[in-house]
Structure 1
């Protein structure tokens, strides 16, 4: 990746032209209609012509540093479906929805402010014009829907008194303070935690556009704020009552700051850090009362085999394949995950509060209440280079191996002799291991404790190799997955005195393999990405490669609203029950569909997941954060476009 550009615009920079507001809306509607019509024409007519997302005439290409071209935004599909497979339906439907979304792209400040008001029910915050000017200068794709996560995270704080938000954020550990347009950390910079150091670097790029604030940063892998559902419902209802459009003549643009809480004693969130294997009980309290997970407790012990789901086609799927990726991530809808994901078995650490504390983190479970910020893994330049294969993103599709590859450690939980078979990563390895599958097909019912195969009469995926008793043989032709370190707990020392990468309770069924550099991973067509202790830090690199990512997770990230399943990546279930069906589809006559997802995903990721986009997202997030903690938040608004 190239250098990270300074995003601070000249104050008052508003772009190169401005049309009357009504004409702008008509033009945007026309462009959206053209995009959707063009897309439908292509899939019906089967033409191979390229249809590009509309771009400003003077800003066609995306760049990330001198001389490094990142490509233009992706085209809609160029070929019609080739079968009646459910995945054909999901791909076609997703592409239509994505192109409809692109039709709402804003090109002017007036468009962006108008669409903000329509979607949020209030005026944009002060500073919105400077943010838009920087976004335009950076050639960002601005679609209001891409920022839904910000408001999902910030809105509950409108249910608290503004000063209470300031108090809860002040003087916590791992703080980044913004004062007079300068960002500093509470700890000396040489001693900064890795995550805090990266976020500080990011915020400093636009800090001179921010009011004073205190930012409490989560330095841990795990999510930490889990407010019970009933309390969150009250807070969200409080936010909805505050939605109003202050008169443009009564609006103000000057923030009050945080000086009134300086010197105050630290707020105590009452962290809970005991009984880690019972973390599910905190989760269920944050689930809606009518959700399947609400009235199911944590497992009393993990000495039994994992409870694989009985229903092969949950409601969030279409004929067994994920249709609603948001629902597929939600443990409240899947109580079986209490025994199938390491987060709920025995996480490496836990420090949870039931109080709404404004803490910023790089991922969270759907019921959690952190404020999401781009991952430090995605920001750090050395890690980005390592994960991109030294700057390379893979060769031509036709030269890649027609196979799945994965390497990683057995992270996700404390890998003990009495719980390992509940871990999601162990399940993934076993399900794609030909030796394990061969033992199952030979009648060994104890060959895999992490999963079970559906009985043939309940299996919706209709895999020919499975019907013929050749599942192991078939999987062996395309699967190359292995652990590089079993991370056993407690650690076992080898003869050299260093912790062994193997362990007694896994040695008879699992071996370890050498790691594979990212540059070589990109020699394969299919790159699955699964959770570790929390989210997977390799996801962005996979999206930016010329290979096709397959994604399974229970963790939300900042970019979720701008990535479309079946257009930019292929989703698969957290039980992994659909992985055989997915690979059967792509390996048998649908290579072109896989190539389209891989290359369109790469073009889109290089357009909207740049470090510039992370900074712009965080900038806008912090404008909302500053407003919600201000005593005059109901009057703080950007209204200049209405006063012209």
Structure 2
């Protein structure tokens, strides 16, 4: 910013004496120099610079133009003749540049995704005109000269030149307008991902893969994952041969039979993701170590036992022939409807779907390693083999208790011991019992790697932080490689993930008619739900994830952790004293809340400073006393070796501790430090309450109501959209509300330990804000969102746009189709020789 201002001011000082009385020319040229400098820098700048300078450029350009009009007036402007054509051109150039930038800044926040694509396109094309390639410079000059000629014809003295210039100008303008309009419609139809409008607060100081403490961790994480998401989108292939080639590159085998039919299905459904289905490969990979006939037998036996809590879907002759283990409810009707849409491309097979919320397949680490040993193989026979004749009859469900089940039930008991069976012997869960948080979190707990954050083997503390490990309501597992399809699973389990029927059937529907614009929403984090996720007995509810989260955010008599730059706090202190707090001027109510927030923060900072001063004085006194004691000891001991006094040992110990902590608590402008702040500062921004206490013994239900507050009626679901920040967290399993939240205009704060089918295509800090089960970073996330409202809105907009492109029912059907093709090959006796090329 200082560089731009310096260049602009220098240009004005240099030009003003040479053009006395022609302020339009001077200010117009300075405005052009400013814009050109900005555009040159933006080509190589980090996103924060690019975004901020776009706004600075627009307002500075407009300001310079207004100043010129005030100085010379309309009369002076009208008196300009053809000799001042350059001034006319530059003035109009600057004017249109300013208008363009302002339109982009204003409309990008309000338009629909398609219109926003068009606006972004115009911005990109307009900006590219300023680059330094000859043909682009020429087109820029012609365009703006034509506009100047068309709009200011009275300044051209010769009638013939004026006539030609008017015609030529209008023709050029018409061609440019038609090109932008046509190309804009074409681009608007393409998936609009990323874009400069999403990167207002982003900085990439420190490089893509490392966090530099000169920027806030959230800013860094947004930039990091935005770049990853753009890479994700850009690497999707565009043709069938490319898709086959990419498949072979990823998995080193040919695609399954009928892969060409799947690709045609996917393109017909206009899916945005064609290549990234790695979760399917990894979910099925262990079962390649089991013979196909063995897999089919295990499924048949599991489905025959009603105590297995499985839904059986049996495909015969290209259609769903039967469904077992259910009473014709919405769950199996949804599955049947979806599978029927592509069943004619599937081989005969039996599918086992989990009817419980918790995962079911737990393979001990030694068994899992052995199963991963065989390498998958494939051939070129584009045809499934089919079931042997003796297996064609559909397995029938036996009477309860007539068969021994392979499942062991640990419901309402601690499940941690079984949940970590597949973890490596060297993992923290089996060795140190200390979380390896540095692998997935930054600073005070901001999640940087969502996959690692879900890995329970890295975080043994989850044992006491999530209800699924403490005392799950239902927990029935099998320790054998039985392929069971589940809606979600924990990282250590071997279930096969598929899109939840709750999402497909829209059990929690989103209605746009009830949603509000971002600026009209309440600035609060909202959550309502039942006290589920753990069966509470003898106080076990205190370790449930929902109870812990609600209690943590509602304990307003306690303190929370902030991560702020002390130099920034001093500036905020000055702002508070002047009644001008940056970022809150437009809303008096929010400004008062912000003042209270910052006053509390600064109060804490001053208290810390005073404590440091007292501690420093005490240390000086201790130092003098220590010196005196040391002198006395020297006299006693003599010139030989001396033993340290207790004071000296204590002093040395503190000195060593200070040295260890110093790099993390330096009070410099480039360092973020932790600060303890009263939670009451955020009381008006928290609205988390239980709607029902359940899955608990009577005494525990009463204890929860007494400590966590009485339950409140569950509001109409569509009333949820009046809040800016929507908290979504696990219950007994996944939250069925997640997709509706993502589709709304609100921002989703997501806390989960369950893996789902969509994990590859939903990125933290781009489509949602992740919240750890440790919760330490929770209030700092809220503070950051409150003080970076535009950035919070960008995340909300990004999730909304992407959800309408990649989380549709068509996307789930496409994923399911590909999953069942892969599964059909897995259970085929000739799986090593079949494949599609």
Q: Report the secondary structure of 1:50's partner residue.
A: helix
Deviation at 1:45, TM superposition (A): 3.0
Deviation at 1:345, TM superposition (A): 1.2
Q: 1:134 to 1:58 in 2, by over 3 A?
A: farther
Deviation at 1:629, TM superposition (A): 0.8
Deviation at 1:510, TM superposition (A): 2.2
Determine the structure 2 residue equivalent to 1:523: 722
| Distance in structure 2 (CA, Å) of the matches to 1:217 and 1:38 | 52
Q: Report the secondary structure of 1:349's partner residue.
A: coil
Determine the structure 1 residue equivalent to 2:218: 87
| Distance in structure 2 (CA, Å) of the matches to 1:142 and 1:58 | 22
Determine the structure 1 residue equivalent to 2:741: 542
| Distance in structure 1 (CA, Å) of the matches to 2:450 and 2:495 | 20
| Distance in structure 2 (CA, Å) of the matches to 1:148 and 1:310 | 27
| Distance in structure 2 (CA, Å) of the matches to 1:285 and 1:96 | 36
Deviation at 1:395, TM superposition (A): 2.0
Matched, 1:474 2:687: no
Determine the structure 2 residue equivalent to 1:609: 807
Structure 1, unaligned runs of 5 or more: 1-36, 63-70, 298-308, 442-452, 493-500, 640-644
1:480-509: CA deviations, max 9, x gaps?
A: 1100011152358xxxxxxxx962454244
| Distance in structure 1 (CA, Å) of the matches to 2:260 and 2:463 | 45
Determine the structure 1 residue equivalent to 2:120: 50
1:506-527: CA deviations, max 9, x gaps?
A: 4244221222223221111111
| Distance in structure 2 (CA, Å) of the matches to 1:537 and 1:95 | 26
Determine the structure 2 residue equivalent to 1:620: 818
Determine the structure 2 residue equivalent to 1:151: 281
Deviation at 1:43, TM superposition (A): 5.6
Looking at secondary structure, tell me which structure has more helix per residue.
Answer: 2
Q: 1:261 to 1:503 in 2, by over 3 A?
A: same
Determine the structure 2 residue equivalent to 1:102: 233
| Distance in structure 2 (CA, Å) of the matches to 1:455 and 1:135 | 46
What TM-score, normalized to structure 1? 0.78
Matched, 1:74 2:199: no
Q: Report the secondary structure of 2:811's partner residue.
A: helix
Deviation at 1:38, TM superposition (A): 9.3
Greater RCO structure (CA 8 Å; 6+ sep): 1
Q: Report the secondary structure of 1:482's partner residue.
A: strand
Residues 534 and 695, structure 2, Cα contact 8 Å, conserved in 1: no
Deviation at 1:610, TM superposition (A): 0.4
1:185-239: CA deviations, max 9, x gaps?
A: 33397x235433321221112111211110001011111111111211111222x
Deviation at 1:170, TM superposition (A): 2.1
Matched, 1:484 2:609: no
Residues 498 and 757, structure 2, Cα contact 8 Å, conserved in 1: yes
Determine the structure 2 residue equivalent to 1:335: 460
Matched, 1:406 2:527: yes
Determine the structure 1 residue equivalent to 2:766: 567
Deviation at 1:587, TM superposition (A): 0.9
Structure 2, unaligned runs of 5 or more: 1-41, 55-103, 105-118, 125-182, 204-214, 304-309, 398-402, 570-596, 605-675
| Distance in structure 2 (CA, Å) of the matches to 1:393 and 1:293 | 46
Determine the structure 2 residue equivalent to 1:126: 257
Q: Report the secondary structure of 2:415's partner residue.
A: helix
Q: 1:352 to 1:82 in 2, by over 3 A?
A: closer
1:146-186: CA deviations, max 9, x gaps?
A: x1111111111111111111111225152101111111333
Q: Report the secondary structure of 1:630's partner residue.
A: coil
Determine the structure 2 residue equivalent to 1:315: 439
1:236-265: CA deviations, max 9, x gaps?
A: 222xx234x63x4xx342332354434679
Residues 42 and 77, structure 1, Cα contact 8 Å, conserved in 2: yes
Residues 166 and 258, structure 1, Cα contact 8 Å, conserved in 2: no
Residues 39 and 96, structure 1, Cα contact 8 Å, conserved in 2: no
Q: 2:376 aligns with which of 236, 239, 242?
A: 242
Mean CA deviation greater in 78-87 or 598-607: 78-87
Determine the structure 2 residue equivalent to 1:347: 472
What TM-score, normalized to structure 2? 0.61
Determine the structure 1 residue equivalent to 2:500: 375
1:6-53: CA deviations, max 9, x gaps?
A: xxxxxxxxxxxxxxxxxxxxxxxxxxxxxxx99988665335562699
| Distance in structure 1 (CA, Å) of the matches to 2:807 and 2:563 | 42
Residues 409 and 483, structure 1, Cα contact 8 Å, conserved in 2: yes
Deviation at 1:282, TM superposition (A): 0.8
- In the alignment of these two chains, the number of paired residues is 544
| Distance in structure 2 (CA, Å) of the matches to 1:620 and 1:310 | 36
| Distance in structure 2 (CA, Å) of the matches to 1:40 and 1:481 | 41
Q: Report the secondary structure of 1:227's partner residue.
A: coil
What does 1:378-457 align with in structure 2 at a 5 Å threshold? 378-381=503-506, 383-385=507-509, 388=510, 390-392=511-513, 394-433=515-554, 436-438=555-557, 440=558
Determine the structure 2 residue equivalent to 1:497: none
Q: 2:294 aligns with which of 164, 169, 173?
A: 164
Matched, 1:283 2:458: no
1:29-81: CA deviations, max 9, x gaps?
A: xxxxxxxx99988665335562699xx9999778xxxxxxxx95334242443
| Distance in structure 2 (CA, Å) of the matches to 1:412 and 1:349 | 10
Deviation at 1:628, TM superposition (A): 0.8
Q: Report the secondary structure of 1:601's partner residue.
A: helix
Q: Report the secondary structure of 1:374's partner residue.
A: coil
